Amino acid sequence: MKSLPCGRPEASSGLLRLRAGRPMWAPSSAAAAARAGMEAQGSRRQQLPVLLLWVNGLMTLGFAGVRQQTELCNESLMLEKLPACGKYFEEMMKKVDSKKWCNLTEFIMYYDNFTQCTEREANNASCFWPNPLAEGFITGIHKQFFSNCTSEKVHWEDPPDEIVIALILIPVMLTCAMITLVVWCSKRSDILV
């Protein structure tokens, strides 16, 4: 049997020779593997939109910070633990002069710790934070420490009559002047044409 330059056997006397134990017209294992790969790739392409939708849903949930709350809120446990946060805040506020209680920069760290404590205890009790019970507790702490911290109300007064008249007449006069100028220019352009 003669070999062709490419290494394949030559067919002689019109008969098909066997190539590696199978007829020349039968697909090779590489071709079958390629066809199977293409079929698998086609099914993967059909599954790709579903996969992308699933990944998008996971990412959306992750970015939104959404979590399923599986346990019910244990309000009694939360109300039992929140006073410890208030007690700690009260101890820290004793270090601050009561005259400075209205100056937030004097106790902002203590207040931040208090807020984080109430959030932690609410989450430990499987409750969302803020919730009406936690807000009620925080409001009670505010009343205890910050009830005298009312801001002074600004009393608005009307400006003097002369200023009001000037602020009204100036735009009215400018508007009249602009209208007069536009009408005069439009009449003048009729004459020039």
Q: What are 92-115's pLDDT values in tens digits?
A: 999 998 888 888 898 999 999 999
What is the per-residue pLDDT for 170? 97
- List the domain range (segments joined by +) for residue 86: 75-146
Residue ranges of the chain with per-residue pLDDT less than 50: 3, 7, 11-16
Q: What is the number of structural domains in the chain?
A: 2
Distances, alpha carbon 130 to alpha carbons 119, 126, 180, 185, 190, in Å: 7, 12, 62, 66, 72
* pLDDT reported for residue 14: 46
Given this model, what pLDDT does residue 23 score?
54
81 shares a domain with 120: yes
Q: Are residues 63 and 81 in the same domain?
A: no
